[in-house]
């Protein structure tokens, strides 16, 4: 198969690039979690903007990876998944593709975990804010009914 080393290189490069981009997303997610825990809202807003930009790149590389895998799989006559593709490759090529794939899967798994943690923290922060707002409204309502604009100045 004369084109297979070139296609293998392209597939490996794409997997590596996707891992790099998702690693950037993972880093931002970790920084978002810390900013949320520390109450640094301006930092959190900046990180959300940064995440949107990187997400566009992540979607683009995902599309590229899918196209590359599909074209390669169509050429060799298998499904466009790594386990099927590597079955048709020379051992050295298969090892490169599998290693890049394993690294990408690990990064995706870590990203999923961190995004889940971040989502739970955001839900907790939202719930806490709602409790604080409710309590503030109760205190304000009680104070509004008191003499002197909310404070009883009698001794």
- Domains in the chain, ordered, with CATH? 4-114 (1.20.58)
Q: Which of 4-8, 60-64, 129-133, 145-149 has the lowest mean pLDDT?
A: 145-149
Q: What is the pLDDT, as a whole number, of residue 1?
A: 46
Measured between its terminal Cα atoms, the distance across the chain in Å is 96
Contact (Cβ atoms closer than 8 angstroms) between residue 61 and residue 18 = yes
Q: What is the pLDDT, as a whole number, of residue 151?
A: 55
What is the H or E stretch that residue 47 is in? helix 41-76
**pTM greater than 0.85:** no
153 confidence band (pLDDT: 50, 70, 90): low
Contact (Cβ atoms closer than 8 angstroms) between residue 51 and residue 36 = no
* pLDDT for residue 50 is more than 50: yes
Give the Cα separation of 43 and 25 in Å (integer): 15
Burial 30-47 (b: 16+ CB within 10 A, else e): bbbbebbeeeeeeebeeb
């Amino acid at each position: 198969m004369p084109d297979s080393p070139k296609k293998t290189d392209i597939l490996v490069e794409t997997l590596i690039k996707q891992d790099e981009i998702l690693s950037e997303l993972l880093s931002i997610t970790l920084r978002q979690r810390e900013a949320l825990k520390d109450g640094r809202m301006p930092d959190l807003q900046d990180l959300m903007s940064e995440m949107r930009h990187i997400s566009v790149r992540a979607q683009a590389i995902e599309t590229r990876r899918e196209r590359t895998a599909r074209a390669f799989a169509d050429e060799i006559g298998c499904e466009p998944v790594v386990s099927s593709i590597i079955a048709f490759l020379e051992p050295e090529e298969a090892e490169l593709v599998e290693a890049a794939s394993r690294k990408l899967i690990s990064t995706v798994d870590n990203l999923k975990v961190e995004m889940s943690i971040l989502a739970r923290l955001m839900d907790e922060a939202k719930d806490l804010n709602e409790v604080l707002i409710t309590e503030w409204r109760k205190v304000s309502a009680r104070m509004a009914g008191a003499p002197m604009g909310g404070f009883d100045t009698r001794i």
